[in-house]
Structure 1
Amino acid sequence: MAMPTILELAQAGAHYGHHRSLTFPKAKNFIYMTKNNVSLINLEETLNRLEIAQKLLTEYRAEDRPILFVGTKRSIRSIVKEAAESIQAPYMVERWYGGFLTNFGNFSAQFKKMRELEEFIASEKGQKLDKKQRAKHQAKLDHYQRFLGGAASLKAMPELLIIGSATEDRIALGEARRLNIPVIAITDTDVNPDSVDYPIPANDDAPRAIEMVLKALVETPVKKVEAKSKVEGEPTKEKPKKAVKKAVKATAKPKKPVAKKSK
């Protein structure tokens, strides 16, 4: 899909942050205003950061570098999985195993075991197993496929992580930071944006908004990367444009009419 408009993002609820008491101080660079004690995200910054992330992902895809999508939050699992599959990228959505990156060699061995078990069950020897033994092997394979199947295509350590919710998958984010693996992540107002290399400020509790952002991110056409191209970006210092204000007003609940007093 094309880059979403500010109004489309607002209609999807992308601008709603957390209560101001839960707002991380450094997240204020991405906040448009506080209304009814709720921080409202500046959707201009969302689009600016999304554009930066698009360029980075396009470069990685053009160079065929390994990318891993992560989204274990229940409400966005299917969205993250669909985004990853649309560009044939590996993903982890059921559960993040601690040490997946820092002990990647161990998990590579698990991928190998999974493939060997799959081949064994499909082989002639596997077909001759009795019902109980076959069920036992199949249950083990199902467990592998559920939790690790999406990432089984990884041949090497991922060089880029795309996280659907920095709040939910902070362990994955921490491992990536420890190994200096760049991260693109959707960051709500309760997250320190400095902990993410390429933050995209948006409401991580709004599945429609997450879907809109991830679709725009992955559907960017891959072109040959020029040698001089760089991906850079700093929070804009400009005041939000009228478009943000209009979008927020357009999605606000209408006021209830005041009943007139009878004479």
Structure 2
Amino acid sequence: MANNTEVKSLLDAGVHFGHLTRKWDPNMAPYIYMERNGIHIINLYKTAAKLEEAKNALRKIAASGRKVLFVATKKQAKDIVAEHAGNANMPYITERWPGGMLTNFVTIRKAVKKMAMVDRMKKDGRYETLSKKERLQVDRMRAKLEKNLGSISDMTRMPAALFIVDTVREHIAVKEAMKLGIPIFAMADTNSNPREIDFVIPSNDDASKSIDIIVKAATDAIIEGHQERKSSKNDDEQSSKDKAEKKAKKTAESKDEEE
């Protein structure tokens, strides 16, 4: 059941404000509490419950060592998502969604490798052998790739899931994920289609405070998952060490008995 304190925090952040009633998607009806002054109001108890479901799933993904790709290209969400996803060590897209990012992942990886190649050229001295014009072209290419793909440079395989802010705006990302069967976590405003989303978080996806509180909750769950994974690894290492010591002790005792 939703915690009243959590619901109050969501209320204070304006998570309950939906779109104008004429812009709604009827599929969002189960998550709408009422209409006020021509605006739909989201049921925050349902938001809190759905957010908890999403957090549990995100925690499990992180604990398994897989990546969640965050997608938010709208102005008020860019910096928030970049900060929180960066803190959780997760890849993110905050500029234009590169078409084929998922469905043509091999090509995207080639573009990322071009960035790495330029960096190697600068380290090994090959960059200095280029003409001034060539260096300028290389720098422009590197800057463009960095702007669009820099945040996913460490993503060597397909993400386990997508976390999207505004599925209407990021409809291409939604379609690609659906085509490949990649789970979608998303902030769903009253104009969204929740049927396209695996983990719906009914919420205002326009206000920066609302985006911040939801995205932070998601990335905090991911960080907890990382800590669980680290703790599990340490326990396994300690267990292996204890077994090795026990085995060595038994071997030593057997030798003593033989002597």
Whole-angstrom distance in 2 between the partners of 1:217 and 1:174 = 22
Q: Which amino acid aligns with 1:58?
A: R
- Structure 2: state its 5+ residue gaps: 230-259
> Does 2:103 correspond to 1:141?
no
> Does 2:209 correspond to 1:208?
yes
Range 118-127 or range 17-26, more displaced: 118-127
> Does 2:27 correspond to 1:26?
yes
Give CA-to-partner distance per residue, 1:162-215, whole Å, 9 cap, x none.
112212211101110111100100010001111100011111111111111111
Aligned residue for 1:8, secondary structure, equals helix
Range 212-221 or range 195-204, more displaced: 212-221
Structure 1 runs of 4+ off > 6 angstroms? Answer: none
Whole-angstrom distance in 2 between the partners of 1:100 and 1:61 = 21
Contact persistence 1:3–1:216 (CA under 8 A): no
- 2:233 maps to which residue? none
Relative CO higher for 1 or 2, CA cutoff 8 Å, sep ≥ 6? 1
1:229-248 equivalences in 2 (<5 Å): none
Contact persistence 1:121–1:134 (CA under 8 A): no
- Structure 1: state its 5+ residue gaps: 225-263
Aligned residue for 2:138, secondary structure, equals helix
How many pairs were matched up? 223
Range 138-147 or range 118-127, more displaced: 118-127
Whole-angstrom distance in 1 between the partners of 2:68 and 2:22 = 35
Over alpha carbons, which structure has the higher Rg?
2
Instruction: Give the TM-score of the pair, scaled to structure 1.
Output: 0.81
Whole-angstrom distance in 2 between the partners of 1:96 and 1:133 = 28
- 1:121 maps to which residue? 122
- 1:261 maps to which residue? none
Range 57-66 or range 126-135, more displaced: 126-135
Give CA-to-partner distance per residue, 1:117-171, whole Å, 9 cap, x none.
2211333121343433322211110111000111111111112101122122111
Shift of 1:7: 2.2
Whole-angstrom distance in 1 between the partners of 2:142 and 2:5 = 40
Aligned residue for 2:159, secondary structure, equals coil
Aligned residue for 1:33, secondary structure, equals strand
Q: Which amino acid aligns with 1:70?
A: V
When the two chains are superposed, the root-mean-square deviation of aligned CA atoms in Å is 1.7
Instruction: Give the TM-score of the pair, scaled to structure 2.
Output: 0.82
- 1:227 maps to which residue? none
Q: Which amino acid aligns with 1:76?
A: A
- 2:257 maps to which residue? none
> Does 2:173 correspond to 1:160?
no
Whole-angstrom distance in 2 between the partners of 1:108 and 1:52 = 32
Instruction: Give the share of equivalent positions with the same residue, in percent.
Output: 34
Shift of 1:65: 1.3
Q: Which amino acid aligns with 2:134?
A: Q
Change (3 A) 1:27 1:135: same
Shift of 1:47: 0.8
Change (3 A) 1:183 1:135: same
- 2:198 maps to which residue? 197
Shift of 1:3: 10
